[in-house]
Amino acid sequence: MVGIMLRNSPETVLLMLATVKLGAIAGMLNYNQRGHVLAHSIGLLDSKLLITEAEFEEAISESGVNVVSQLTIDELDRMSVLAPTANPSATEAVMTKDRAFYIFTSGTTGLPKASVMTHYRWLRGMSGIGDMALRLRPDDVLYSCLPLYHNNALTLAVSTTVNAGATLAIGRSFSVSRFWDEVIASRATAFIYIGELCRYLLNQPPKPTDRKHRVRVIVGNGLRPELWGEFTARFGIKRVCEFYSASESNTAFVNALNIDRTVGICPMPIAYVKYDVESGEPVRNDKGFLTKVGPGESGLLLSKVTDLAPFDGYTDPTASEKKLVRDAFKKGDTWFNTGDLMRNLGWGHAAFGDRLGDTFRWKGENVATTEVEAAIEHNDAVEESTVFGVQVPGTDGRAGMAAIKLHDGVELDPKALSDTVYQNLPAYALPLFIRIVDTLEHTTTFKSRKVELREQAYGESVTDPLYVLAGRAEGYVPFYPEYPEELAGGQRPKG
């Protein structure tokens, strides 16, 4: 096991490929982690060697973790001058079933877990998404500014360029102001994205360089349906290879046919099943088995564990077992619980719904946070929002609350915001609490951190401006202490 804590660079790519070629496991550490979180991640790896940068040595030391052996990338570079150039015999013993990478989850709901990526799954990404959907040519240049400890960069960007014999242009990090300049300068014909990256680019004022690039195809996940058309039209993107998967998942969807607003098709056995919103668990019928939802309905996505689609899991066996559903449709079968809600569009295609942990129930209805966020962001004053459910004494379920960041220099018009949500959402999905924040915290892969916001809710510890939905006529008004009781009593919102 070799721990790799490096920023994006050609050396990082070469080091991780050399590590797995030797038959060792490359543990891809998030170089932004500090303190007990960093100590936790390094401890999970239990590596024989940690390769890092001089800049990160202090953070590693201050975390208190015990590292067996540690080198900087510069020290390793000097040592390599005298190293033999022939392949060592260990390379011949590497099997596809062997572990290649440990990739950490984002840690949006707790400490990160290390998911396992075998050589087989990495090669499957290379051939499946690479050959079937992205279809790069040797003269292509793929630009990637996502961190190499993230699966989109590690698996998609690196494997698909290796597969095609194409060129990988590595951005040091994502910069919304430099993004298109770097794409143009590298003569990129493709790039890797995640949904938030696309939204950040759209939020920028139009520039003359918006379409002066050579990009013909992009690949990634999380491009919201409501932004899809606007993004492709503004920037002149002809093909979007949206995909769905997760670091620990045993399956994937890919938009191989360039159909708008879909995660594409999945060739493996999957099922969309009924679920309990509060527990997040699949619901069993009176026979003890799961029930599939009907066509067009939203259901919890399960993927069958087979020899062709094994579940490699995490380094923690207990955490791995929690992701499995056994005896789902018959005795002895095993399915991977993705924890995600998907809607079957027919013809083998699906649309992403929401993370089950983010979905909440109010007034007897399931509320998808992605739907509410999309509605809020129809308001021109809103730059970004994140939605979550909060408990209200005397009520069942959770009421919708949104943390909103406004565009710089813009003030909230509470009535205009309420008009926006009333026009775009059913009554049960209306966000009843609004918190105006200066910034929204994200993981390094741009996922919203909702745990603290959910815990703080509308409590006394919140010093940001708070608003509540009084009704259709009054709109949002400043929070007042009696509101939760009025909400529980059915007095609010009115209309």
- pLDDT tens digit sequence for 365-408: 778 888 899 999 999 999 999 999 999 998 888 899 999 999 99
Residue 108 confidence (pLDDT) above 60: no
**Which of 105-109, 266-270, 277-281, 289-293 has the largest mean confidence?**
289-293
Residue 33 confidence (pLDDT) above 80: yes
Q: Which CATH class is domain 1-94?
A: alpha beta
**Using CA atoms, how far apart are residues 50 and 40, in angstroms rounded to an integer?**
14
CATH of domain 363-488: 3.30.300.30
Q: How confident is the model at residue 160 (pLDDT cuts 50, 70, 90)?
A: very high
Structural contact between residues 225 and 235, judged by C-beta atoms closer than 8 angstroms = no
Lowest model confidence (mean pLDDT) among 62-71, 99-108, 138-147: 99-108
- Dihedral of alpha carbons 319, 324, 327, 333, sign: negative
Residue 435 confidence (pLDDT) above 90: yes
pTM for this one? 0.79
Residue 434 confidence (pLDDT) above 60: yes
Q: Tokens 């990082």 appear where?
A: 12
Do domains 119-357 and 363-488 share one topology? The answer is no
**Using CA atoms, how far apart are residues 390 and 409, in angstroms rounded to an integer?**
29
Cα-based angle 35, 37, 40 (whole degrees, multiple of 5)? 110
User: Taking residues 284-312, what's their average pLDDT?
Assistant: 93
Q: How confident is the model at residue 494 (pLDDT cuts 50, 70, 90)?
A: confident
CATH architecture classification, 119-357: 3-Layer(aba) Sandwich (3.40)
> Residue ranges per domain, the chain?
1-94, 119-357, 363-488
